[in-house]
Structure 1
Amino acid sequence: MTRNEKAEIISNLEAEFKASEAIVVCDYRGLSVKKLEALRIAAKEQNVKVQVIKNTLAKIALNNSAKDGMELKDTNIFVWGEDQLAVTKVVAKFEEANKDLFKIKTAYIDGEVAPVSKVVALSKMPSRDELIAMLLQVWNAPIQNFTIGLNALKEKKEQSA
């Protein structure tokens, strides 16, 4: 890889890391190509990016995007995106399905290096769409109960007449 190619990769990663809300670094040693492709497909559905990056290039890109402090060792796969919950859900779900071969190492969330426990906790939170659905159910419940009560009152009056 030439110096210009490396500089181009770093500048692309830097721009993407600046725009992302969450960056998760995972160990993927021993994972088959088929399973890696499954991870990429699951990530793409959630607008999350997955890429194997050399540690030196990733460190430079992270430092240039003001997201430093992560310790990068051994083989790493980087997962990042603009939605924190989507990134954490993709990674946690994949780790659960592939416990022996895929492990979350570290993450950069909310402007700081985050432990694995924070990634797992965020992955269990409901998404924005799920929260909106819950809110709509709460708002809809009194109207449903009122109509059920009116219908029961109507049936009772019809039976007594």
Structure 2
Amino acid sequence: MPSQKILSEKQAYVEALKAKLDSSVAGVVVDYKGISVANDTKLRRALREANVEYAVVKNTMLRLALEGKGYTELEKTLEGTTAIAISHEDPLVAAKILCKYAEESKGAFTVKAGYMDGAEMSAAEVEAIAKLPGKQELLSMLCSALQGNIRGLAVALNAIAEKSEEVA
């Protein structure tokens, strides 16, 4: 039986993990088996630059942290090597980075499951979400669409003004 000190440390770790999960907008659980240290460092750097927390976790600890959240399918994937990426701001960024990395690693690194806004997602759903445009891409599309309409209006008004000058 573990000592009281070790037990209290584990309970504190589970509570901290619960708090992170509660404050997050999305998360992705992955199987990191088979990646090299250099590739892991590269992945962690990309996630850190995107403000995503990434950590290797014990399955039991994550299972305890997920208890009562209703993520039954996510809990079923907690076997083997497990790491979790938690995003507190952009719900798509963790899925995008991890799915891109999983595609590049060709099977050495796989996405197990995820969650977003309180709903759990299968690996296929996480991959589908990763293909959606991000917040910045959507904003640039919106600006482009708005700018195109305004530019069209300006050209039309200019043509009307030139035509009225010709008539006068």
Q: TM-score, normalised by structure 2?
A: 0.81
Whether 1:17 and 2:21 are equivalent positions in the alignment is yes
Whether 1:101 and 2:108 are equivalent positions in the alignment is yes
Match of 2:144 in 1: 137
Match of 1:32 in 2: 36
The SS at the match of 1:29 is: coil
The SS at the match of 1:73 is: coil
Cα displacement (A) at 1:21: 1.9
The SS at the match of 1:96 is: helix
- Which of 85, 88, 91 aligns to 1:79? It is 85
- Which of 20, 23, 48 aligns to 1:44? It is 48
- Which of 6, 9, 21 aligns to 2:10? It is 6
How far, CA to CA, are the matches of 2:138 and 2:49 in structure 1? 20
Aligned length, in residue pairs: 153
- In angstroms, what is the RMSD of aligned CA positions? 2.2
How far, CA to CA, are the matches of 1:89 and 1:111 in structure 2? 19
The SS at the match of 2:111 is: strand
Cα displacement (A) at 1:85: 0.7
Cα displacement (A) at 1:146: 5.1
The SS at the match of 2:51 is: coil
How far, CA to CA, are the matches of 2:116 and 2:149 in structure 1? 39
Identity of aligned residues (%): 31
Whether 1:57 and 2:64 are equivalent positions in the alignment is no
Q: Deviating runs (4+, > 4 A) in structure 1?
A: 146-151
> Are residues 101 and 41 of structure 1, via their aligned partners in 2, closer, same or farther at CA, if it must alter by over 3 Å?
same
Q: TM-score, normalised by structure 1?
A: 0.84
How far, CA to CA, are the matches of 1:134 and 1:112 in structure 2? 27
- Which of 68, 83, 91 aligns to 2:71? It is 68
Deviations 1:30-62 (A, max 9, x none): 111111111111111111111000111111111
The SS at the match of 2:120 is: strand
Cα displacement (A) at 1:147: 5.1
Structure 1 segments unaligned to the other structure (5+ residues): none
